Amino acid sequence: MHYEGYIIRPPSEADSILLQVTVGCSHNKCTFCGAYKGERFKIKSDDIILEDIAYAARHMRRQDRLFLCDGDALIIPQKRLVPILKEIRKQLPWVNRVGVYANTKGIRMKSPEELKELRDLGLGIAYMGLETGDDETLKAVNKGATAETMIEMGKKIRAAGIKLSITVLLGIAGRDRSQIHAEATGRVLSAIDPEYVGALSIMLIPGTPLHDDYEAGRFVLIDPPEMLAELRTMIAHTHLTDGLFHANHASNYLPIRAKMPHDKARTLALIDEALAGKIRLKPEFLRAL
């Protein structure tokens, strides 16, 4: 496989075929992210992509899911993305789901009909980084979208019949807006009503603008109990009709996996126990991105 740069995939795609169709991220301006710094975004050549699909056909017959890397492969023009999915279906018929990262720009570029075409060709899930539903925080971290845009694009993916997994970031708003961020994020998640929510805890990466702000005292990193309090508020304000709310990423202090709305009360009670010191939190040295 012809991999370039820094390959990132969602935790749930750990056992998937990783097919790199783009390099980097077309936005690449988020202040908290250091994944693609110094990389110029590009769509890989069709020849290389086809070679990698052929390689997967020969050597990856036990993996029934495939993930299109890198940061926002959905931004590939439809006339190029459709043949890629058709070739995957042709050469890898055992693959039953294709996943992709999607930002609001990439989603907006696709019509509802085009998204449904991609769904019919095997695109089964899109991963979208919301990070926060608080417009002031979205602007501060240079996300490039408002909460209303996030809602609109999230609903657009869901309307096409593509499952949606949304990532949110605990601690991203700092101390002053922690609870505002938590409540606003819950409201946005409720409006989109995705199948999956994944909550990660912010980890500052040296060399990023957010880390520079932290070093200069412009950003205050909240402590573990404040992270838990933020998570509690977020879950309390999140109303999903039938979704999974995960906070079991390696960055989190308290692993949580809640089927909503069934497990909501139990999960809030669990967090309350942790806040009361009855449950031990993950030590700092065990946390990771």
> Cα-flanking dihedrals φ and ψ of residue 124, to 5°?
-105, -20
Tokens of 66: 């495939």
- Residue 61 is which amino acid? R
- Report helix, strand or coil for 205: coil
Provide the residue-wise pLDDT of the chain in tens; the chain has 289 residues.
Answer: 899 887 888 888 989 999 999 998 888 889 999 888 777 889 999 999 999 999 999 999 999 999 999 878 999 999 999 999 999 999 999 999 999 999 999 999 999 999 999 999 999 999 999 999 999 999 999 999 999 999 999 999 999 999 999 999 999 999 999 999 999 999 999 999 999 999 998 989 999 999 999 999 999 999 989 999 999 999 999 999 999 999 866 666 788 889 999 999 999 999 999 898 877 776 654 555 4
Tokens of 22: 């783009």
| Cβ density class 209-238: b for 16+ within 10 Å, e for less | bbbebbeeeebeebebebbbbbbbbbbbbb
Report the pLDDT value the prediction gives residue 251, as an integer from 0 to 100.
61
Angle, helices 264-275/224-236, rounded to nearest 10 degrees: 160
CA dihedral sign, ordered 27, 25, 85, 162: negative
Neighbours of 179 (CB within 10 A): 16
What is the C-alpha separation between 25 and 7, in angstroms, rounded?
11
Q: Which domains, and CATH codes, for the chain?
A: 11-281 (3.20.20.70)
**Considering only CA atoms, which of 183, 201, 277 is closest in space to residue 246?**
201
Q: Are 97 and 50 in contact (CB under 8 A)?
A: no
What is the C-alpha separation between 74 and 130, in angstroms, rounded?
16
- Residue showing tokens 């989109």: 192
Q: Are 161 and 116 in contact (CB under 8 A)?
A: yes
23: left (phi over 0), alpha (psi -120 to 50) or beta: beta
- Taking each continuous run of H as one helix and of E as one strand, the counts in the chain are 10, 10
Q: Are 235 and 258 in contact (CB under 8 A)?
A: yes
> Cα-flanking dihedrals φ and ψ of residue 71, to 5°?
-60, -35
Report the pLDDT value the prediction gives residue 70, as an integer from 0 to 100.
84
**pLDDT tens digits for range 4-40:** 887 888 888 989 999 999 998 888 889 999 888 777 8
**pLDDT tens digits for range 158-186:** 999 999 999 999 999 999 999 999 999 99
What is the C-alpha separation between 76 and 72, in angstroms, rounded?
8
Can you name the residues that pair with 18 across neighbouring β-strands?
67
